[in-house]
């Protein structure tokens, strides 16, 4: 399948097949317009449906930006009623977060601003280049985050930094983002894609049910109380205990060999 605004490759990394999705509007710093959303929905849908793929990486083309935000030129003349009636931005979360049970990583290679920062935060985790910059500068446009920035950024870095960033539009550099818990790891700019693909391949080599289950459990921590989250964790653990891959994984450990996963 070919796309207008992104590229998609299935990469046969040494330890597991990985889907690499690249935002490809470098002349507009990969700004997120409606076509990007349609393309990402199709690409993530295909990734989710492909039993041969267990981890994806999303990055931005060019040296400068992961994504500099929702496309301001597309939004500038849009009437407020259209934003409301279309429930503008709702499909990002429903199709890229809720509908994708398999893991995916954002490899942030430069500016991740506004919707770009919000898109990165939809990933299961972020690996950042040392040149990455994160921000929610929407206030300077007379608006506010619309794809989860006020909620996901606050959960990731806490109220003080999230409030300061939303109210001033200040950007956070990669080192501060790592210190604050927004990104899992910062790597050199040159090694970003290799590191992200290597990490994705390591995940892709895991027993598939366990990978999906681990993601589901951690996400439950954002949606529930501690007591309910602990119940979710135990129930999922108990379901995994009945899987063929659990029997294989434990046997492989005892027999000092690599596990051969069935995905069941
Ligand atoms: C459309 C964008 C864009 C964007 C950059 N471009 N960001 N186009 N939407 N979000 C375009 C520029 O217009 C320009 O096109 C080209 O990309 C290169 O950008 P420059 O500004 O020339 O680059 P530079 O001087 O290096 O500055 C980089 C930058 C700046 C600091 C990232 O581009 C910037 O501030 N961009 C906007 C960031 C932003 O406000 N993001 C939040 C958007 S609102 P031309 O054709 O001139 O070469 C959002 C959610 C809104 O995300 C929710 C509200 C409902």
Structure confidence by residue, pLDDT tens digits, 19-59: 999 999 999 999 999 999 999 999 999 999 999 999 999 99
Going from the Cα of 111 to the center of ligand 1, the distance in angstroms, rounded, reads 10
Ligand 1 atom 35: residue of nearest CA: 68
**Residue 115 designated active-site:** yes
CATH class of residue range 208-255: mainly alpha
Q: Is 240 exposed, middle or buried (0-12, 13-18, 19+ CB in 10 A)?
A: middle
- The single residue of 110, 115, 146, 149 carrying the catalytic annotation is 115
pLDDT band for position 14 (cuts 50, 70, 90): confident
Residue 13 has pLDDT above 90, yes or no: no
What pTM value is reported for the model?
A: 0.97
From 25, 37, 69, the mutation candidate for ligand 1 (largest count of ligand atoms within 8 A of CB) is 69
Q: Which helix (H) or strand (E) holds 23?
A: strand 16-23
Distances (CA, A) of 21 to 15, 48, 113, 187, 195: 19, 13, 19, 19, 15
Task: For residue 114, give the ligand 1 atom closest to its CA.
Answer: 52
Strands 111-113 and 65-67: parallel
| pLDDT at 1 (0 to 100) | 82
- With H, G, I as helix, E, B as strand and everything else as coil, classify residue 66: strand
Q: Which helix (H) or strand (E) holds 165?
A: helix 159-168
Task: For residue 118, give the ligand 1 atom closest to its CA.
Answer: 52
- The single residue of 61, 70, 107, 200 carrying the catalytic annotation is 70
pLDDT band for position 121 (cuts 50, 70, 90): very high
Going from the Cα of 132 to the center of ligand 1, the distance in angstroms, rounded, reads 15
Complex ipTM more than 0.95, yes or no:
yes
Residue 15 has pLDDT above 90, yes or no: no
Answer whether 121's CB lies under 8 Å from 155's CB: no
- For the chain, give every domain's residue range: 6-205, 208-255
Long-range pairs of 5-10 with CB within 8 A, sequence gap ≥ 24: 5/33, 5/35, 5/36, 5/39, 6/36, 6/39, 6/40, 6/43, 7/61, 8/43, 8/46, 10/52, 10/53
Going from the Cα of 34 to the center of ligand 1, the distance in angstroms, rounded, reads 16
Answer whether 200's CB lies under 8 Å from 57's CB: yes
Q: Options 3.30.70.2700, 3.30.420.40, 3.90.226.10, 3.40.50.1970; which CATH number does 6-205 get?
A: 3.90.226.10
**Residue 118 designated active-site:** yes
Ligand 1 atom 38: residue of nearest CA: 68
Residue 214 has pLDDT above 90, yes or no: yes
Pocket lining for ligand 1, CB < 6 angstroms:
28-29, 31, 68-73, 111, 113-115, 137-138, 141, 143, 146
Helical axes 208-223 vs 244-254, angle rounded to 10°: 110
| pLDDT at 16 (0 to 100) | 83
Ligand 1 atom 15: residue of nearest CA: 28
Ligand 1 atom 30: residue of nearest CA: 68
Task: For residue 88, give the ligand 1 atom closest to its CA.
Answer: 55
Of the candidates 61, 70, 86, the residue with the CA atom closest to the CA atom of residue 8: 61
């Amino acid at each position: 399948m070919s796309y207008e605004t992104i590229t998609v490759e299935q990469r046969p990394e040494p330890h597991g097949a990985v889907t690499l999705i690249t935002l490809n509007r470098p002349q507009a710093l990969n700004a997120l317009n409606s076509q990007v959303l349609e393309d990402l929905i199709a690409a993530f849908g295909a990734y989710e449906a492909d039993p041969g793929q267990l981890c994806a990486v999303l990055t931005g083309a060019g040296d400068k930006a992961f994504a500099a935000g929702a496309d301001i030129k597309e939004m500038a003349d849009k009437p407020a009623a259209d934003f409301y009636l279309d429930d503008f931005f709702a499909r990002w979360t429903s199709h890229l977060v809720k509908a994708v049970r398999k893991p995916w990583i954002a490899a942030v290679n430069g500016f991740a601003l506004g919707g770009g920062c919000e898109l990165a935060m939809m990933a299961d985790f972020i690996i950042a280049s040392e040149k990455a910059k994160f921000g929610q500068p929407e206030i300077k446009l007379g608006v506010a985050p619309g794809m989860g920035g006020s909620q996901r950024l606050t959960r990731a870095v806490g109220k003080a930094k999230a409030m300061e960033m939303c109210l001033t539009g200040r950007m956070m550099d990669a080192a501060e983002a790592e210190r604050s818990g927004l990104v899992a790891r910062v790597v050199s700019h040159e090694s970003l894609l290799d590191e992200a693909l290597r990490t994705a391949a390591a995940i892709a080599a895991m027993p598939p049910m366990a990978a999906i289950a681990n993601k589901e459990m951690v996400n439950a921590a954002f949606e529930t109380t501690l007591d309910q989250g602990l119940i979710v964790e135990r129930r999922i653990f108990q379901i995994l205990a009945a899987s063929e891959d659990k029997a294989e994984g434990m046997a492989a450990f005892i027999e000092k060999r690599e596990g051969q996963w069935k995905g069941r």
